[in-house]
Structure 1
């Protein structure tokens, strides 16, 4: 768990130190802006940016039931962040597995990528796809049910 939070914590601490230096020089406004920027970066690179992760076993079981893709990811990965942001609301329709929190998920990714933990790795119908295009991932999502469409309105 700490590995996933290491980069966001370091970003927050660096921002706080730089802002403190600016506060000491009398640049309060610049220090606040700098600190806010670092905190936004820390939040964007934290596990909070992603929908709740499930274990690899649970994700595989759920994917077999509902046909949704499984995305293996890790905090701090710019490609995972890009996929998450570009999927937008559709990100909630995918099963997310954090490989830094789930050893079985990390093993699945290594098996799919010649021993490397290359993420995002998206598994659809049992076939892994490494760093696929977001539109391809969106096309793999099952159609929304009528009840979920009516809730959106």
Structure 2
């Protein structure tokens, strides 16, 4: 409960300290649970990196495509009345370019760096830490297979 019923009395001395301490302890447990920190870092980096990817697609790749096609985008391509297939095609091409940019400029180099670090430290794939949730699910799967 965020605000206890005895709120006026709470603000007196040691009781306030215990209340704030309990709240901070709960917050610390929440932050340290699971991958909250990893998720927060991913969101922040992803937000910052989206500007880089959008610039790569909008300022580098789409102008190259427009040199080939002759238009800055596909919005006026295949327009049949109110059905604008060209606008949809522009969105699909942008998505594919963003996905390719993220894969080739983030995922591949990161996998290479992780592999290089593991080789330097002498860590094989089997030795990498297994998430306890994955281990539990694997045990459950194996026991279900054994029953059949």
Q: So what's the TM-score if we normalise by structure 1?
A: 0.31
Q: Which has the higher contact order (CA 8 A, sep 6+)?
A: 1
Larger Rg: 2
More strand by share: 1
